[in-house]
Structure 1
Amino acid sequence: MCGAVIFTARNVPSTAGICHCPMCRRWTGSALIGVTVPADKVVWQGEHNIARLQSSRWAERAWCKQCGSNLYFRVTMESEWSGNYELPMGLFDDPNGFEITNEIYFDHKPDSYSFAGTDRTQLTRADCVAKFPVLDEDGPLKAG
């Protein structure tokens, strides 16, 4: 928002996902609509302005120290999911053209909103824990 942190991403996929988990809803004020980009495809400028929080034993969230804009979610635990940034779609200069392919924690979505279209995978919290058991072992490191 303020320009203190800028990223350039190469080979950005055309797909995005939506997360309705309680932490993402608190972090974004709604749902996180994110685009997964491999870390080696993202170059950051103004890194000294990036604040990070290890929000669970397995992941961190980052934001701009100057204006507070959310910058990314990233798995820090060594796993098949590490090495990627989940970049909020609104950070892209042109957020058009992304196809929403999945919604996770769908059973945690508030009834006050929904996203158009139904041609995507919708996973409940139980579905997510079955795929990624670490989700059941860990809550936020800080109450919030």
Structure 2
Amino acid sequence: MNTASTPSHRVSGSCLCGAVTLSLPLASYQVAACHCRMCRVWGGGPLFAVEPAGPIELEGEDAITIFASSEWAERAFCRHCGTHLFYRLKDGQHYEIPAGLIDQGQDWHFDHQIFIDQKPAWYHFGNQTQDMTGQEVFDAFGGDD
């Protein structure tokens, strides 16, 4: 566990144009990378994300566009500047927020990688992380591939 983590603290961020702001609680500064094809197409590389420890607060919701990227999840972006805002399960109970969106100099800890079996061979991270294949992710969270 990251020694920089605290029971819960709020962080905030905004899109490039400032039309959308968000605030969320974090239990730690742990960051995960997702290597699934959808995340790589969405952002041009793996998605580095943090998981909120509770509900997120959004301002500027009229500027948010939601894209249903699969049967179980959706992705949001600012309709003005295109900034990626979140990935969430359609039931609304699980969000992943791009770490760069809220990076304010926190002591981030790159903790785990998912869909490691879909990671292209042309890049590699040297960090020691917990790695899960796509099937292990679906088994752990009850989704279908």
Q: Contact 1:15 / 1:35 at 8 angstroms: preserved in 2?
A: yes
2:49 corresponds to = 34
Q: Decide which of 116, 132, 141 is 1:123's aligned counterpart.
A: 132
Does 1:59 find its partner at 2:73? Answer: yes
Percent sequence identity over aligned pairs: 34
- Cα deviation, 1:15-41, whole Å, max 9, x if unaligned, reads 12110001111111100010011452x
**Which 4+ runs in 1 deviate beyond 3 A?**
none
Counterpart of 2:114 in structure 1: which amino acid? I
SS in 1 for 2:51: strand
CA distance in 2, matches of 1:93, 1:126: 30
Q: Decide which of 85, 107, 113 is 1:97's aligned counterpart.
A: 107
C-alpha RMSD of matched pairs (Å): 1.8
- Cα deviation, 1:40-65, whole Å, max 9, x if unaligned, reads 2x211111000001111211100000
CA pair 127-10 structure 1, distance change in 2 beyond 3 A: closer
SS in 1 for 2:48: strand
Counterpart of 1:115 in structure 2: which amino acid? F
Counterpart of 1:10 in structure 2: which amino acid? P
State how many pairs are aligned: 130
How far apart are 1:12 and its partner, in Å?
A: 4.9
Q: Decide which of 44, 62, 67 is 1:48's aligned counterpart.
A: 62
Q: Contact 2:29 / 2:109 at 8 angstroms: preserved in 1?
A: yes
Name structure 2 gaps, 5 residues minimum: 1-15
Q: Decide which of 21, 24, 28 is 1:9's aligned counterpart.
A: 24
CA pair 8-126 structure 1, distance change in 2 beyond 3 A: closer
TM normalised by structure 2 equals 0.80
TM normalised by structure 1 equals 0.81
Bigger Cα displacement from structure 2, 67-76 vs 93-102: 93-102
